């Protein structure tokens, strides 16, 4: 039932947002250059890798040694606008239709995090990842990794159709009010290095 719901709703949303899906690529190409899409390998159900797609939100500016400049420099006002209203996430509707992810589930993180999870934290991969999830409506990037993983595992243990409906509704409210987009003091969430160690992570 969840897969059928994902297919129907993601298709309807894709049709609804199709004008933006046409306009945004032109704006990204003009303001940020190419490539238009940010493509990255992420772990899906049971840790199986798939390619996640987003609209690009950062420039490719580098220093004289070829290293990326800080997120604060590379993330332009246009990129911030896309993130503020989650417009950069729209290509993930294609991931949902392909069956890589669901509309609701723990957010797919990075492949290099897999060996860092505790046995309890790894339970987040017992379900398909999602565009939005229980952690996203309860703090998103403004909460710690441990809090985020606890919320993800709670969802895995308590998932239901009614809970998914609640998460979708609350996600719409969060997007409208632009809550929890960034970790305090950072443009992006710090990367996970184990339960008690984090360093700054950059994204496309």
Give the CA angle between residues 188, 194, 195 to the nearest 5°: 90
Distance of CA 112 to the CA centre of its chain: 16
Task: Indicate the pTM of the whole model.
Answer: 0.83
Q: Please list the pLDDT of the chain residue by residue as tens digits (204 residues).
A: 899 999 999 999 999 999 999 999 999 999 998 899 999 999 999 999 999 999 999 988 887 887 878 778 888 899 999 988 889 999 999 999 999 999 999 999 999 999 999 999 999 999 999 999 999 999 877 788 999 999 999 999 999 999 999 999 999 988 887 665 555 455 566 778 876 544 334 444
Strands 102-104 and 191-192, how do they pair? unpaired
Smallest CA-to-CA distance from 158 within 93, 104, 97 is with 104
């Amino acid at each position: 039932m969840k897969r059928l719901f994902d297919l129907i709703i993601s298709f309807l949303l894709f049709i609804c947002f199709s004008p933006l899906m046409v306009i945004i690529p032109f704006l990204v190409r003009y303001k940020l250059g190419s490539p238009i899409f940010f493509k990255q390998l992420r772990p899906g159900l049971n840790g199986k890798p798939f390619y996640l797609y987003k609209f690009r939100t950062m420039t490719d500016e580098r220093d004289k040694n070829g290293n990326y400049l800080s997120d604060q420099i590379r993330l332009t006002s246009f990129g911030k606008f896309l993130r503020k209203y989650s417009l950069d996430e729209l290509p993930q509707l294609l991931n949902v239709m392909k069956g890589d992810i669901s509309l609701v589930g723990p957010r797919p993180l990075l492949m290099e995090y897999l060996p860092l999870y505790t046995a309890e934290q790894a339970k987040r991969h017992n379900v398909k990842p999602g565009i939005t999830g229980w952690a996203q409506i309860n703090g998103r990037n403004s909460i710690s990794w441990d809090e985020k993983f606890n919320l993800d595992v709670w969802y895995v243990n308590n998932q239901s159709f009614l809970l998914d409906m609640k998460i979708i509704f609350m996600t719409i409210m969060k997007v409208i009010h632009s809550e929890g987009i960034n970790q305090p003091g950072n443009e992006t969430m710090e990367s996970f290095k184990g339960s008690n160690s984090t360093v700054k992570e950059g994204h496309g």
